[in-house]
Amino acid sequence: MIPLPTFDETPIAALRNIDFSYDDGTVALQGVTLDIWRGEHIALVGGNGSGKTTLAKHLNGLLRPSRGRVLVKGKDTAKQSVAALSRTVGYAFQNPDHQLFCPTVAEEVLFGPKNLGFAEAEAVEKAGRALKMLSIDHLKDKAPLSLSLGDRRRVSVASVIAMDPEVLVLDEPSTGLDAREAAELMRALDGLNKDGKTVILITHEMRLVAEHSERVVVMAHGQVSLDCRTRVAFSEPETLRQSGVIPPVAVQLAQRLLEFDVSPEVLTVDELAEEVARVRGART
Amino acid sequence: MNALRMRDVSVRYPDADRDSLEGVTLDIAKGEWALLLGANGAGKSTLCMLMNGLIPHVIKCSMRGQVEVFGKDVASHSVATLSTKVGIVFQEPENQLFCMSAEEEVAFGPENLAVDREEIAARVEWALETVGLKGFNDRPPASLSGGQKQRLAIAAALSMRPDMLVLDEPAYALDPIGRLELYSLLADLKKKHNMTVLVVERDAEEAASFADRIVLMSEGRVVRTGSPKEVLADPSVLRSIGIPPPQLSEFGEALYARVGAPKVEGITLEEVVGEISAMLRAGRGPG
Amino acid sequence: MTGFVDLYSEGDTFLHRIDARVKIIAVLLLSVLAFLLSSVYPLTLLLTFIFILLFLARATLSRTWFALRFVIRFMVLIVVLWPIFDPSGTPVWATFGPVKITEPAVWRGITSAVRVGCLACVWYILMFTTSQRDLVRALVKMGLRFDFGLALAISLRFLPTFSATIDSIKDAERARGMELDKGGLLKRSKNYVAVLVPTIVSALRSADTLSLALHSRAYGARADRTYLREPKMRPKDAVALSIVIAILVVPVFFKYALGVPL
């Protein structure tokens, strides 16, 4: 595994040898150790039941490990409440309908910042910025529950962004969104990442991972099976397959054309087209 | 007789400011697999609910035009009658599975039709085995995985012995491997039982290569229909209705932009690998 | 204390194998018996009999402990409180200010406690050995309208789902900085709006899809309806039923016809 450059001395979040089992006895995580540095754009992937959501829920205290420690900004999360940790780690749930309850979008997006105790003016400013970032400013006065799924999801993500956390965890944020909405969402996340926010994406849309995440953590059966740069991760198809993950089609195609000197580190359609054109040119 | 015959169908919900379906004319042949693609709001779900008469009998809306499934006009046949011809599997299997055991779930439909008990038992066994859930009779639906729930929902529709299966965004909660398994199951049903299949999706990636025909919808209208090769040859059409083209299709487009002919025609990985390999080998040229 | 949404404990004891209808009737008859007996000794005998059945049901340890803990606590509470609130009778054993503890009151307390123990445990036996499925089927077979039976079955089936949904909603609101467990009663009640609204919306959405699914599977198409599995009475069920009837009839006969003080 290629070591990653550290952006900071202390990881912004760290899991040290975590074990976790659910009440009914299922072992969900085993000996997981992971460091997340400030400003990273990470994808957390794996088949259903691999433990990726379970792992992510440890970052903001929704779940507590039965063994090992979780550190956020160097401090153990064991004694901090979920609400307290939400100041640093924002979590957008897979089902936006589990969050929405306010009469208007504006109030919904203000809910988080108000809970964190921001002054009125500051809260409104943060909420406004979040709405604009996700292009839903025009929905400000509408009832969240009357909106389409794509809009509801954007409201839910906006309400987490408005809390201005340093780390953003998003659980399957592209589900239910069409191409344009998904692209806008990812654009917003990339923008936040450029501003220094740490973005953690839980997803099985490998295409999004290939196009946006610089680091991939692959989970299988409650353990980390692969943790490296995205380009490198996708050039290990066997490990991925065993973890229930299929690389995006562009990558699969590239891997079938290796005999023609096509680079195995291709990630996107454009890169592949470039490579094939190059190779073709080199042969004539 | 076609499986589906729609002529100039328009549907508008109460309080809506525009039609959800506008002048839709569409035919699906028996035994065909049609893939309906459209962004949110294109009218796909509305079209699905016409298939077994939920519209106009159960859902309040105004409907104009004619819809016939296997020769039966949906406006003049009850949902119960149509349900023996067309089975619908909605999004989110969780909310369609309401019995306490898989067996009850699958038996529910035929029980409602007062089918003979022995016949019901036979259908239950057949349906469960067909979807790969043999032996799951006593399992509570709540204990099944997402993919298994999906399959159980399909089995519950199959026990009505329909000639057509309609699935509204079945891949919604599945991961890519689960999606491939689902589509393979549908392909099997089509092959072995001549089942007409209508799959509605927002994403063409995995589904496109399984379909016989692709129907593109936007804002309540049918924009284009054709074979996958025809429709995917021009990715810009898909983009114009808000659907991300399959990556192979985009690749063909990107490559053409860089090197010109030949145009990549394949729509499956194998086909494209074959074409590109041939192209690169040929490019070696003499010396 | 973890509550149990479904008390059913899988097993293959003779109790599990008895027809659900017989068990329901048995529970009702034994409950009636518990009320008809007024003397503490026959009641204790009944309780012992019921306890034996409870253990023969071979429910899981956690379920049995859950049931017993609840019942025993309640019984102890009755034994302790009854004499405090019932000062009638002689001889008086002790006096604490206005409170008079008398011997007959203590016995009455014990008798009531044993009666409650019988009632509770007999229902636990039913719950432990009968799946929700079989219970609903039995009720429908005994005359409950199918629609009601279906509504009951659907409610039971969705209970764990809603429980999980509520947990997920609570998590989502906590993750937005809301402290659900702190604050005075008023503040906490307001906070629960954030949990209640999504729960209700989720329920309504599910109900919507569910209703379409029911229609699509021809629900209500005909007045008659076949059932894949019908509860069938077998000889051993008839035997069990007769034994239970006898258990009720014999003491009742002795008490009311022969005047034996039971």
Instruction: Quote the distance between the C-alpha of residue B203 and its chain's center.
Output: 12
Residue B287 has pLDDT above 50, yes or no: no
pLDDT band for position C230 (cuts 50, 70, 90):
confident
Domain-embedded: residue A240? no
What tokens appear for C169 in the block?
Answer: 């909603």
Q: What's residue A1's pLDDT?
A: 46
Residue C196, judged by CB atoms within 10 A of its CB (0-12, 13-18, 19+), counts as middle
Query: Of A210, A235, A260, which closes a domain?
Result: A235
- The distance in angstroms from the start CA to the end CA of chain B is 59
Q: Are residues B23 and B144 in the same domain?
A: yes
Segment (H or E) for B271: helix B269-282
Q: Are the C-beta atoms of residues C113 and C43 closer than 8 Å to each other?
A: no
Q: Are residues A185 and A278 in the same domain?
A: no
Q: Are the C-beta atoms of residues A108 and A159 closer than 8 Å to each other?
A: yes
Residue C180, judged by CB atoms within 10 A of its CB (0-12, 13-18, 19+), counts as middle
Residue A30 has pLDDT above 90, yes or no: yes
Question: Which member of B146, B251, B273 has the closest CB to residue A269?
Answer: B251
Higher pLDDT, A141 or B176: A141
Residue C142 has pLDDT above 70, yes or no: yes
CA distance B123 to chain A (A): 30
d(CA C168, CA A115): 19
Q: Are residues B21 and B87 in the same domain?
A: yes
Q: Are residues A119 and A210 in the same domain?
A: yes
Domain-embedded: residue A7? no
Q: Are residues A123 and A159 in the same domain?
A: yes
Q: Are residues A227 and A273 in the same domain?
A: no
Q: Which residues of B touch C133 (CB under 8 A)?
A: 100-101, 104
What is the percent of chain A where pLDDT is above 90? Answer: 61
d(CA B279, CA B282): 5
d(CA B168, CA B21): 16
> Which residues are within 8 A (CB) of A207 and not within 5 positions of it... i.e. 6 or more apart?
A248, A249, A250, B205, B247
> What average pLDDT does the segment C15-20 reach?
89
Q: Are residues B110 and B180 in the same domain?
A: yes
d(CA A142, CA A112): 18
Q: Are the C-beta atoms of residues B141 and B108 closer than 8 Å to each other?
A: no
Q: Are residues A149 and A257 in the same domain?
A: no
Domain-embedded: residue A1? no
> What average pLDDT does the segment A157-166 reach?
94
What is the percent of chain C where pLDDT is above 70? Answer: 98
Q: Are residues B256 and B154 in the same domain?
A: no
Nearest CA in chain A to B41: A148
Q: Which of B217, B220, B222 is nearest to B242 (CA)?
A: B217
Q: For residue B83, what is the domain's CATH number?
A: 3.40.50.300
Strand partners, B153: none
d(CA C54, CA C220): 40
Beta-carbon separation of A283 and B276 below 8 A:
no
CA distance C84 to chain A (A): 42
Q: Are residues B64 and B134 in the same domain?
A: yes
What tokens appear for C217 in the block?
Answer: 């599977």
> Which residues are within 8 A (CB) of B50 and not within 5 positions of it... i.e. 6 or more apart?
B6, B9, B11, B21, B63, B67, B74
Beta-carbon separation of A83 and C174 below 8 A:
yes
CA distance B239 to chain A (A): 8
Q: Which of A187, A182, A171, A163 is nearest to A90 (CA)?
A: A163
Mean pLDDT computed over every residue of chain A: 90
Q: Are residues B44 and B155 in the same domain?
A: yes
Total structural domains in chain B?
Answer: 2
Domain-embedded: residue A3? no
Q: Are residues B12 and B110 in the same domain?
A: yes
Q: Which residues of C touch B49 (CB under 8 A)?
A: 212
Assess A258–C contact: CB distance below 8 Å, yes or no. no
Q: Are residues A231 and A272 in the same domain?
A: no
Q: Which residues of C touch A143 (CB under 8 A)?
A: none
> What average pLDDT does the segment A201-217 reach?
92
Higher pLDDT, B32 or A145: B32
Q: Which residues of B touch C136 (CB under 8 A)?
A: 100
> What average pLDDT does the segment A159-163 reach?
94
Domain-embedded: residue A157? yes
Domain-embedded: residue A6? no
d(CA B134, CA B109): 19
Residue A6 has pLDDT above 80, yes or no: no
Q: Are residues B34 and B140 in the same domain?
A: yes
Domain-embedded: residue B237? no
Beta-carbon separation of B247 and A279 below 8 A:
no
Q: Are residues B172 and B256 in the same domain?
A: no
pLDDT band for position C92 (cuts 50, 70, 90):
confident
Query: Of B228, B254, B279, which closes a domain?
Result: B228
**Residue C63: phi, psi to the nearest 5?**
-70, -45
Domain-embedded: residue B240? no
**Tens digit of each residue's pLDDT (9 = 90 or more) over B128-178:** 999 999 999 988 888 888 889 999 999 999 999 999 999 999 987 788 888
Structural domain boundaries enclosing B260:
246-287
Nearest CA in chain B to A174: B172
Residue C2 has pLDDT above 70, yes or no: no
Please spell the DSSP secondary structure of C211-247, one letter per residue: HHHHHHTTTTS-S----SS-----HHHHHHHHHHHHH
> What average pLDDT does the segment A10-24 reach?
91
CB contacts < 8 A, A to B, total 97
Assess A80–C contact: CB distance below 8 Å, yes or no. no
Question: Which member of A23, A99, A163 has the closest CB to residue C172?
Answer: A99
Total structural domains in chain A?
Answer: 2
Segment (H or E) for B6: strand B4-12
Q: Are residues A189 and A227 in the same domain?
A: yes
CA distance B120 to chain C (A): 7
Q: Are residues B207 and B281 in the same domain?
A: no
Nearest CA in chain C to B87: C216
Q: Are residues A281 and A182 in the same domain?
A: no
What tokens appear for C73 in the block?
Answer: 């606590």
Structural domain boundaries enclosing A108:
13-235
Q: Are residues A88 and A204 in the same domain?
A: yes
Domain-embedded: residue A2? no
Query: Of B201, B228, B255, which closes a domain?
Result: B228
Residue B241 has pLDDT above 60, yes or no: yes
Question: Which member of C174, C193, C202 has the closest CB to residue A97?
Answer: C202
Sheet with A13-21: list strands edge to edge: A27-36, A13-21, A67-72, A75-76
Q: Are residues A227 and A130 in the same domain?
A: yes
pLDDT band for position B286 (cuts 50, 70, 90):
very low
Q: Which residues of B223-241 are buried (b: 16+ CB within 10 A; e: fewer)?
A: bbbeebeebbbebebbeeb
Nearest CA in chain A to C173: A99
Q: What's residue A3's pLDDT?
A: 55
Q: Are residues A182 and A47 in the same domain?
A: yes
Residue C166 has pLDDT above 60, yes or no: yes
CA distance C37 to chain B (A): 39
**Tens digit of each residue's pLDDT (9 = 90 or more) over C182-202:** 777 887 888 888 888 888 888
Beta-carbon separation of C176 and A82 below 8 A:
no
Mean pLDDT computed over every residue of chain B: 91
Residue B198 has pLDDT above 50, yes or no: yes
- The bridge status of strand C92-96 relative to strand C99-102 is antiparallel
Segment (H or E) for A44: strand A41-45
CA distance C174 to chain B (A): 25
Q: Are residues B204 and B254 in the same domain?
A: no
Domain-embedded: residue B219? yes
Chain B: touching chains (3 or more CB pairs < 8 Å): A, C
CA distance B246 to chain C (A): 30
Please spell the DSSP secondary structure of chain C, one letter per residue: ----S-------SHHHHS-HHHHHHHHHHHHHHHHH--SHHHHHHHHHHHHHHHHHTT--HHHHHHHHHHHHHHHHHHHHHHHHH---SS-EEEEETTEEEEHHHHHHHHHHHHHHHHHHHHHHHHHHHS-HHHHHHHHHHTT--HHHHHHHHHHHHHHHHHHHHHHHHHHHHHTTT--TT-S-HHHHHHHHHHHHHHHHHHHHHHHHHHHHHHHHTTTTS-S----SS-----HHHHHHHHHHHHHHHHHHIIIIIS----
Contacting B with CB below 8 Å, chain C residues are 131-133, 136, 153-154, 156-158, 160-161, 205-206, 209-222, 224-229
Beta-carbon separation of B254 and A269 below 8 A:
yes
Domain-embedded: residue B124? yes
Beta-carbon separation of A116 and C177 below 8 A:
yes
Q: Are residues B266 and B207 in the same domain?
A: no
Nearest CA in chain A to B170: A176
Domain-embedded: residue B241? no
Nearest CA in chain C to A81: C179
Q: Which residues of C233-248 are buried (b: 16+ CB within 10 A; e: fewer)?
A: eeeebeebbeebeebb
d(CA C1, CA A155): 37
Q: Are the C-beta atoms of residues A230 and A215 closer than 8 Å to each other?
A: yes
CB contacts < 8 A, B to C, total 104
Q: Are residues A263 and A157 in the same domain?
A: no
Q: What's residue B92's pLDDT?
A: 83
- The HSE-up count of residue B217 (CA atoms within 13 Å, CB side) is 31
The residue to which tokens 């068990």 are assigned? C23
**Tens digit of each residue's pLDDT (9 = 90 or more) over B55-75:** 999 999 999 999 999 999 999
Q: What's residue B285's pLDDT?
A: 36
> Which residues are within 8 A (CB) of C195 and not within 5 positions of it... i.e. 6 or more apart?
C166, C169, C170, C173, C180
Which of B98, B118, B161, B172 is best to mutate for the C interface (most C CBs within 10 A)? B98
> What average pLDDT does the segment C216-221 reach?
91
Residue A127, judged by CB atoms within 10 A of its CB (0-12, 13-18, 19+), counts as buried
What tokens appear for C182 in the block?
Answer: 């702190």
**Residue A80: phi, psi to the nearest 5?**
-100, 140
Beta-carbon separation of A253 and B279 below 8 A:
no
Question: Which member of B40, B172, B277 has the closest CB to residue A257?
Answer: B277
Question: Which member of C175, C193, C201 has the closest CB to residue A82?
Answer: C175
d(CA A215, CA A4): 9
Beta-carbon separation of C198 and A100 below 8 A:
yes
